[in-house]
Each structure stands twice: as C-alpha cells, then as structure tokens.
Amino acid sequence: MTNILILADHEAGKVAKTAAELATFAKRGGSPLAVLLAPAGQADALGSQLANTEIEKVLAVESDDFARHGIAAMVDALAQIIESQKPSAVLIASSARGKEIAGRLAVRINSGVITDAIDLAADLGATQSVFGGSFTVSSRVKTGIPVITLRPSAIEPAATSQTPAIEKVSITISEKAKLVTISNTQPAVKGGRPELTEAKIVISGGRGTNGDFTQVEAMADLLGAAVGASRAATDAGWYPHTHQVGQTGKTVSPQLYVACGISGAIQHRAGMQTSKTIIAINKDPEAPIFDLADFGVVGDLFAVLPQAREAIASKRS
Amino acid sequence: MKIAICVKQVPDSWAEKKMVNGALDRESVDAVLNDLDEYAIEEALRIVEPLNEGKETPEHTITLISMGPDRATEAIRKGLSMGADSGVLVTDASLAGSDAIATSRVLAEVISKGGFDLVFCGTESTDARMSVIPAMLAERLGWAQLTFAGSVKVDAAASKVEIARMTESGVETMSANFPCVISVIEKINEPRYPSFKGIMAAKKKVIENKSLADLGISSSDVGSVGAWSIVADAQARPPRDKGIKIEDSGDGGSKLADYLAEKRLV
C-alpha cells in the first residue's frame, strides 16, 4: 500500500481538526502518514492527539526552527521527509500558511500543485470550486508527487480506535531555510465563536448594519455561528478584516448563511454562494442578494433579527 | 534600492465569468489590474517616495513585471500612472494556460536578471486565488519570504525589512535582510487613484517586452503544454432554485424563525 503524507497542523499545543480530515481523504488512496513539525520536546504531546483518526503512523520532527524561521524551515523538513518516504501524494490544509507551504514545496520537489480542493478521489483527482463557486472543476496533478491543499471542513473526519506509532525523525534544517527570523508571535484572539471557514452557520452583516453588529453577533451567539462581514463593512472599519466574506476575503460554504443588510454584489456572492441554505434580510426589495436567497425578508434587520431570536428561543424552550 | 512588483491583469472581479475547455474565457470579460496588486504598488511607492524626495533622478526605482497577452500592458500602464517608473511584460503565444509553477518560473527569471533588492506582490490574484506565487518566487530565487504583510518597515541603509504577517492564525513579527519577496494584504494601505499628471507621465514611461527566448525558457516548459496540473472538466454550477421572499409587516422575524425550524436549521 502506498503512503499518502499529510501535514498535521497545530497551534498553541493543540493539533488542528484538519489533521483528521486530511487523513480521511488520504485513506481513500493509501495509508495516511502524518508529518508533525513540532517545537522541541512536544512531539509526543502533539502526536498523542492524532489518535482515533485514520492516521496510521506519525513522523515527528522536533525543532524550534519551525517557530523561529517559519514556512521555509517547514518546507525544508517536508522535502527531506518526502525524499526518504517517497509518498504518492502530499495533503495540506488550505490556509494562508498551508497554501504557501504547498507552493514552495511543489517548486522544491518538482511537482504540480492544486490548492483549495473540496474533494479528493482515490485516484488523486481533485475537485475545486472556482470563481466564487460558479464553476466546479475536476483537476489532476500530472507531474511529480501531487501536492494538494484541501479546504477545512470539506469532509466529516472518520473516527477510529487506532493509536498511531510516533517515530521521531532527526532532520537538519539547511541554512538557506533560515533567512527569515520570527521575533514575536501573537495568536489570533479566538472569541467564543467558531472559525469563519469552519462554521456550520455564518451570520454576516453589511452596509445595512450602519456599523452596529450587536444584532448580528447576538444571532450568531444564539445559533453557535461565526460572524462574517461584507467588504463594505470591513472597509468602513466596522468589523475586522479577517471576517470579510467575498472575492478578496474568505470563501465560506456553511449549512446556513444569513446575510443581514448585505446587498449581494458579485464580490460578496463569490464568497458565499455555495452555502447550502441562504437567508437574506434587506430593506431594499431589489437587492441582488434576494436572487440567491432560499428565504428572504424585505425589512429592517434591527426589527427582524431580534424578533427571530425571540421566536427561536421560545421554540427551543 | 531597486524594487520589482509582480502585477497581473485579471478579469474584472465584478463581471460574470465563462469557462471554455477548462480555462477561463479571458476574451469575453473586461480586464483590469488585479485589485490586490494596487496595494503592493502603493506600499512600494510609500517606501521610495520619501527617500527620493528632492533628487533630480530617483535613486530608488520601481519596476512592474507582468506576464500575459499584449493587452496586459494596460494593467502595467495603470501601475505606471500611480507612480511606478518602468515595466516589463513577458508575452509569448506559448504562455497561454500556464500554471503557477510555470508563471513563477518566468517571473523569477525576469527578477533574477534585473538586479532587484525587493519584490512586492499582492497576496493573491482575484481570478486564480491560489496565493502561492510569492512563496514560489522566494523558493526559486532563494530569497527571504515575508508574506501576508499588514505592515512593512524597510531600512534601506541597513538593507533590512521587518513586517507584521497577518493571517487567520494571528500576527507574527518577522524580519530579514535583502533580498526579500514581500506580499501585502489589503489592510495595509489605501491605494491612490492615478492623478491626471500621473496618467500623462505614464504614457512616456518605458514598458519593455520580453519573449521566452529572451529569458532562455523553453516553450515546452510553459503554457497548457508544460502545465504540471490539468483541468479535466469544468461545470457551471446549476442556478439556485427560486426561494421565498416575504415583506416584513411586523412578523418577518417570526416567519424567518418558522422557516429555519421547518428546515431543522435551528
């Protein structure tokens, strides 16, 4: 059986849930072999979190060079592991860092690269949703060892009862991979809300909020949802740029997307139109967002949202 | 200090797009300078302008580099009208359909022959949205990768750059010595509109055309022929079914709650 390498992401001592997702994809085409690029002394603590997934074995490299020199050091280690393991593909989670690692790695190992796949077949054919979800594309790497990044939450990870063996690999990071020095790292402040791209429900606000996101946030908290924003809202400084949904922001594809006071310009639609159910609340009956909406309310979000919240709460009680 | 900026002409992101034979039909839509590249141009201008102030001939220059068809000169011209000094366009019939691997190879070749200290890029193009070209350039050139910058501090005298890398995972302060590849996020600045004077001046600025032969790259290594990944099939997403639209006459919120409950979404 051929090995498929997955890069297991971690942050602040916790392994990301994308590791189990990548393993589930990898299992379709081979044996999932996880690479863990861990800070010194943390391989076991991180590796033990990979139990109960499809991961069959963990190759752990312990080095503080990853935190100190970043992506170039990670690529250097991965390339050395690929050289010795000769996997049939490399799977990485789609994130700013994941895609950059994939790009550099593909150049290094002379292989083709596919980013932001939403599905992967046993024969390594990838499915991508492009141009804001207006097209579904099947693509394939035809040269080298395919390097493929997969969007978070694209698959429900399979649960197992296995505990993969952790093998520590000693690797020397080359000097060429140490050009950048990272002097300070501030992890993103995670509120109680889920990550935008991973959330099952997203509540977004736009120009119609006039800068007041309290109703949007209250609805999000009631439903355990993430908060998104249109470019108009982030450009106006009403909500952090990291929450922008759209062409130049995040692409989301949740079970439920609620657009509040968002007109639905193509820029915004590009980031959310593959959502399963779309709700729109807008004062303007002509707003293009209504063309996408499964359920649209022509009205003031400051009246509709509190009433909906109350009604949902009373249905639950 | 010599700065290069990689720019791309893309289909207007406000336009509906069509696909033909697994590739974007670029002819059918208006083409513009990639939004996100404007932030890179603005940032580079803000770095060189104070250093060049009062100098007869600018000591610090900005060259825009692009790969694309002839009409990509329009995108370069837009950047020149913002204030960049010159442009290079790599154009060759065999480049059509190039993947990121080939594109990064062509751009890296131009950069390595140009004697640059810094390369600026946007974080992604609004058409392909891969976000890999800056990282690939750093890999090919063997330069420091300082990407997703929300702020950039250049110390020209010490040949040093420090950035704040801002991504979903947080903020990292990172630094490196020249030469560096820097990509900037759109939060970093507010790009200027070209002034009338800028537009007039841009007409006189030089855009150098280069072919693959000039760069010593074989045409079989680029374009759809040389691509290391292929699109086997592309399907337009079926249109969404027409939904329900109600007017809020005091009970819009309750009706919305009913709909969500009926669909088992709450």
Q: Among B104, B169, B174, whose Cβ lies nearest the Cβ of A97?
A: B169
Average pLDDT over residues B205-209: 97
- The confidence score (pLDDT) of residue A162 equals 95
Instruction: Inspect the interface and report whether the beta carbons of B16 and A111 lie closer than 8 Å.
Output: no
- Give how far A175 is from chain B: nearest CA, Å: 11
- Partners of B119 in beta bridges: B4, B181
Residues of A in contact with B140 (CB under 8 A): 107
Q: Among A71, A140, A310, whose Cβ lies nearest the Cβ of B229?
A: A140
- The CATH number corresponding to A3-178 among 3.40.50.620, 2.60.40.10, 3.40.640.10, 1.10.1240.10 equals 3.40.50.620
- Using DSSP's 3-state secondary structure scheme, residue B107 falls into helix
Do A3-178 and A196-316 agree at the fold level?
Answer: yes
- The confidence score (pLDDT) of residue A122 equals 96
Q: What is the pTM of this model?
A: 0.89
Q: Say if B126 is an interface residue toward chain A (CB within 8 Å).
A: yes
> How many CB pairs below 8 Å do chains A and B form together?
275
Domain edges within chain B: 2-226
Work out the mean pLDDT of chain A and round it to a whole number.
94
Instruction: Inspect the interface and report whether the beta carbons of B258 and A304 lie closer than 8 Å.
Output: no
- The confidence score (pLDDT) of residue B13 equals 67
Counting beta carbons within 10 angstroms of the beta carbon of residue A122, is it exposed (0 to 12), middle (13 to 18) or buried (19 or more)? exposed
pLDDT tens, residue by residue, A33-73: 999 999 999 999 999 999 999 999 999 999 999 999 999 99
Residue A190 pLDDT more than 90? no
Q: Among B136, B171, B228, whose Cβ lies nearest the Cβ of A103?
A: B136
Q: Among B134, B176, B187, whose Cβ lies nearest the Cβ of A181?
A: B176
Counting beta carbons within 10 angstroms of the beta carbon of residue B100, is it exposed (0 to 12), middle (13 to 18) or buried (19 or more)? buried
Q: What is the DSSP letter of B240?
A: P
Residue B14 pLDDT more than 70? no
Residue A232 pLDDT more than 70? yes
Class of domain B2-226: alpha beta
Interface of B with A in 46-65 (CB under 8 A): none
Q: Say if B243 is an interface residue toward chain A (CB within 8 Å).
A: yes
- The confidence score (pLDDT) of residue A135 equals 86
Average pLDDT over residues A110-138: 92
Work out the mean pLDDT of chain B and round it to a whole number.
93
Determine the residue of chain A that is closest to B177 in CA distance.
A179
More reliable by pLDDT, B15 or A197: A197
Assigned CATH topology for domain A196-316: Rossmann fold (3.40.50)
B61-90 burial by CB neighbour count: b if 16+ within 10 A, else e?
Answer: bbbbbbbbbeebbebbbbbbbbbbbebbbb
Percent share of chain B, pLDDT over 90: 79
Q: Say if A34 is an interface residue toward chain B (CB within 8 Å).
A: no
Segment among A241-255, B107-121, B247-261 with least mean pLDDT: A241-255
Q: Among B136, B171, B174, whose Cβ lies nearest the Cβ of A104?
A: B136
Instruction: Inspect the interface and report whether the beta carbons of A116 and B130 lie closer than 8 Å.
Output: yes
pLDDT tens, residue by residue, B45-94: 999 999 999 988 889 999 999 999 999 999 999 999 999 999 999 999 99
Domain edges within chain A: 3-178, 196-316
- The confidence score (pLDDT) of residue B140 equals 98
Q: Rounded to whole angstroms, what are the CA distances from A121 to A71, A308, B206?
A: 28, 41, 49
Residue A28 contacts residue A121 (beta carbons within 8 Å): yes
Determine the residue of chain A that is closest to B138 in CA distance.
A104
Interface of B with A in 161-220 (CB under 8 A): 166-177, 185-187
Interatomic CA distance for residues A94 and A6, integer angstroms: 12
